[in-house]
């Protein structure tokens, strides 16, 4: 293996190693940034759900109370939890991969009934010290943001301290359901926002590779012209001199670096050898 090939191979190995280290660092950084971005979106979705819930209970429910009392029937549009469920369905239709669910224990319908994983999340929230929101990466590279749903009147269909405290229309519609007699502040469910993690752009991986390739090429060019070419010329001159060729020119260079010093030493050695040979011949 020639010196040129050894140097270029070593530089190539260093460049590949640097790229792998940089790639690992970038992957970790990009993944963390993707999680942070998805979490911000999920927090916004949960905040919007809370706004829809509160607006419905404060502004819409009073307008429909008289109608429910006269007709003795529950109107879903008067309930904040119905607004959140509707919002979640619309988000799922408009944005594939995104989701918003408000699920409760002792649910009254399929829309607010937790699946096994969601039930595990609620159990985790109800555990001692587990009442804080948290995130979890789900299969399919989806971030789930889980927020505890605490007991306040009307936050779910059966979220009342007793059946007697619930509006008559609620009792008539959901009176046979479990879940009444809840305690204020009790974690009765969870609001879960699901946001797909942004895939890493391929261009973000190509640019560092191009930069390292350019650096490798520049380094190879500098070594070629500043070191290898002068050494190759000195080698050729030494070969001709060693074969006894006459009139071989000296190695000329204006360089003041190590290569220039080596060339001057080589020229002095050559002159000394020629003088010694002349003395021997005489």
Q: pLDDT tens digits, residue range 46-97?
A: 999 999 988 888 888 777 777 666 666 777 777 788 888 889 899 989 999 8
Is pLDDT larger for residue 80 or for residue 251? 80
Residue 160 — very low, low, confident or very high, per pLDDT cuts 50/70/90? confident
- Residues 17, 109 within the same domain: yes
Which token pair is 253?
A: 């260079």
Output the DSSP codes for the chain.
--HHHHHHHHHHHHHHHHHHHHHHHHHHHHHHHHHHHHHHHHHHHHHHHHHHHHHIIIIIHHHHHHHHHHHT---GGG-HHHHHHHHHHHHHHHSTT-EEEEEETT-SSGGG---HHHHHHHHHHHSTT--S-EEEEETTTEEEEEEEEE--TTSSTT-SSSGGGS-HHHHHHHTTSS--SPPTT-EEEEEEEEEEPPPPPTHHHHHHHHHHHHHHHHHHHHHIIIIIHHHHHHHHHHHHHHTT-SSPPP------SHHHHHHHHHHHHHHHHHHHHHHHH-
- Residues 105, 237 within the same domain: no
Is pLDDT larger for residue 223 or for residue 78? 223
Mean pLDDT, rounded, for 152-177: 73
In a domain, 2, yes or no: no
In a domain, 19, yes or no: yes
C-alpha 98/C-alpha 143 separation (Å) is 9
pLDDT above 70 covers a percentage of the chain that reads: 88
Most confident of 55-59, 111-115, 133-137: 133-137
Per-chain mean pLDDT for the chain:
81
pLDDT at residue 106 in the model: 79
pLDDT at residue 228 in the model: 83
User: pTM for the complete prediction?
Assistant: 0.67
pLDDT at 226 exceeding the cut of 90: no
In a domain, 1, yes or no: no
In a domain, 192, yes or no: yes
- Residues 184, 211 within the same domain: no
From 137, 167, 196, the end of a domain falls on 196
- Residues 98, 26 within the same domain: yes
Which token pair is 71?
A: 């007709």
How many domains in the chain?
Answer: 2
- 73 close to 118: Cβ distance less than 8 angstroms: no
Mean pLDDT, rounded, for 112-136: 89
Domain that holds residue 106: 10-196
- Residues 106, 121 within the same domain: yes
pLDDT at residue 244 in the model: 67
From 166, 196, 226, the end of a domain falls on 196
Query: Edge to edge, what strands does the sheet with 99-104 contain?
Result: 99-104, 187-196, 142-150, 134-138
pLDDT at residue 177 in the model: 61
**Comparing 88-92, 165-169, 232-236, which segment has the lowest mean pLDDT?**
165-169
Measured between alpha carbons, how far apart are the two ends of the chain, in Å? Answer: 43
pLDDT at 155 exceeding the cut of 70: yes
Which residue has tokens 């949960």?
46
What tens digit of pLDDT does each residue of 172-189 get? 777 666 667 777 888 888
- Residues 21, 114 within the same domain: yes
- Residues 80, 191 within the same domain: yes
pLDDT at residue 117 in the model: 93
In a domain, 270, yes or no: yes
Q: What angle do CA 128, 131, 134 make, to 5 degrees?
A: 120
- Residues 30, 153 within the same domain: yes
In a domain, 208, yes or no: yes
Which token pair is 81?
A: 């939890």
In a domain, 26, yes or no: yes
From 196, 213, 242, the end of a domain falls on 196
In a domain, 149, yes or no: yes
Residue 12 — very low, low, confident or very high, per pLDDT cuts 50/70/90? confident
- Residues 184, 241 within the same domain: no
Which residue has tokens 């391929």?
202
- Residues 167, 231 within the same domain: no
- Residues 104, 144 within the same domain: yes
pLDDT at residue 276 in the model: 72
- Residues 211, 153 within the same domain: no
Q: Between helices 229-242 and 258-281, what is the axis angle to 10°?
A: 0
User: Going by DSSP bridges, is the β-strand pair 187-196/142-150 parallel, antiparallel, or unpaired?
Assistant: antiparallel
**Comparing 49-53, 101-105, 201-205, 232-236, which segment has the lowest mean pLDDT?**
201-205
């Amino acid at each position: 293996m020639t010196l040129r090939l050894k140097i270029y191979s070593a530089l190539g190995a260093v460049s590949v190693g640097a790229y792998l280290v940089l790639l690992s660092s970038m992957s970790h950084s990009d993944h963390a940034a993707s999680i942070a971005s998805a979490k911000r979106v999920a927090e916004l979705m949960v905040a919007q759900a809370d706004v829809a819930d509160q607006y419905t209970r404060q502004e819409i429910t009073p307008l429909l109370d008289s109608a429910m009392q006269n007709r003795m029937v529950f109107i879903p549009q008067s309930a904040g939890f119905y607004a959140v469920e509707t919002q979640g369905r619309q988000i799922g239709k408009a944005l594939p991969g995104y989701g918003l669910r408000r699920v409760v224990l002792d649910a009254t319908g399929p829309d607010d009934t937790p699946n096994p994983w969601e039930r595990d999340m609620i159990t985790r929230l109800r555990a001692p010290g587990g009442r804080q929101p948290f995130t979890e990466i789900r299969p399919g590279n989806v971030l789930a943001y889980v927020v505890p749903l605490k007991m306040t009147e009307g936050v779910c269909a059966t979220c009342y301290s007793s059946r007697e405290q619930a509006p008559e229309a609620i009792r008539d519609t959901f009176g046979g359901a479990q879940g009444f007699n809840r305690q204020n502040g009790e974690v009765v469910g969870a609001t879960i926002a699901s946001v797909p993690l942004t895939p890493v752009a391929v261009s973000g991986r190509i640019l560092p590779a191009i930069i390292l390739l350019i650096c490798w090429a520049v380094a190879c060019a500098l070594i070629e012209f500043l070191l290898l070419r002068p050494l190759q010329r000195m080698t050729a001159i030494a070969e001709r001199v060693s074969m006894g060729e006459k009139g071989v020119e000296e190695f000329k260079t204006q360089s003041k670096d190590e290569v220039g010093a080596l060339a001057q030493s080589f020229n002095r050695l050559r002159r000394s050898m020629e003088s010694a040979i002349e003395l021997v011949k005489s």
